[in-house]
Chains A and B, each alone.
Chain A
């Protein structure tokens, strides 16, 4: 190595760039929080978080229980509005527009930002109607061929081959892993810009989990995926960017996933990911 003259880091990250070809374009920020606080009553769940989430990448949020990562996720599509005691301070921009401006209708916001939850929550309807639900409520069922749109979403969610012969049976008859993929299909059918995922695999067995993880990698070709996970190995496996929240709702470090897991800046992050804390 004596001939190595340039100033490149000794350990260069090769895999991430090689593996995901579609991600080479420069980062375009799609979501941006500046000095965001979220309170539940008097308790501060998110403490002065500023973050820029890039387009069509997988951004993972990790941290110990109660660190506010899910709260942050729910503040992006204003699902916190459902909780009376929740209060927001600071700004959160989606494509340059503050989503907490008075003229923003949270229903419209959620039509741009889909969400998948921790526990699979299919509706007690047929598989077809579950996927078509978003298109119907958003009034898009007239513009598109509904059956085609349902098939497209189910294919994108890697579920089509398993359910194509039983689209009329109840979504609740599927296995847990299939239900979660059904919920992903439901979320992406109306073609949102961003897909929020709140621990989407934590209720699933390892096989189903790895299917969801593969699916997330595929989805990131087209969508911006923001995923909360309590499983930091999962974040390591699937994300391009990782945000580490620690107790008190503080965003401690946000960087490329390789940097976070190989050479984090902050000692608390090092302690957390190596298991010395949390």
Chain B
């Protein structure tokens, strides 16, 4: 059975003059026990989507269900069984770790001891500081506490809105490992993130941009859909290089990518032709064919949409 189904949801904010279209006909399904990533830049509509699924907002049109329950009609039942971690740290800063956890456990009609197994791995990392107030914790520790609080009632579906934003690289990695462990307990997890590199940690991802879904597939599937040849080019002087690459007849698209420029080539072209083209102005240039990653796919999908 599908854990979450979203069918043609639209949502807008504001009145006629300053209308902001947040979601334009979004549809996808999340299977039971799946770790599903919603990946897109800021302002793509991720938070709006999460708020609709957690019954905090009403969609303008379309339908969605969580655990088979309608997000509009059955909002009370949904609120009993989902876990939600908003994008901003939203626990009580003046309560200690322990007090926050106990409070949320009671609010959800359970107790810390009842579901301790579920959070044990995560909670044990912050337990030494359990008398410390939540406002005084580091970003990574806040994240772990928030996750514990969202998990304490053993939700059937967990909604995590940008849980890794503002968290250091090591903590981010740890966080994703925690999610993979939770998945084993049979909890369906929806995570949104603006970081493309986190896509590979998900079972499936939905790429979202400007309120529309560009693609829903497994990370491998998304990458496999990238058919164009791709090369990475580097030289001492990057700006003129970008201009020259743009002028190349075989270039379909070129964009800065970390310390390289990524060049998407038209069919029939390859790295050798790029090297030949660059011989005169950029004799030192390093040109190598690369495998596309999610970000390349995202850019390609964005441009074709």
User: Are A and B part of the same complex?
Assistant: no
Q: Which residues of B approach A to under 8 Å, CB–CB?
A: none
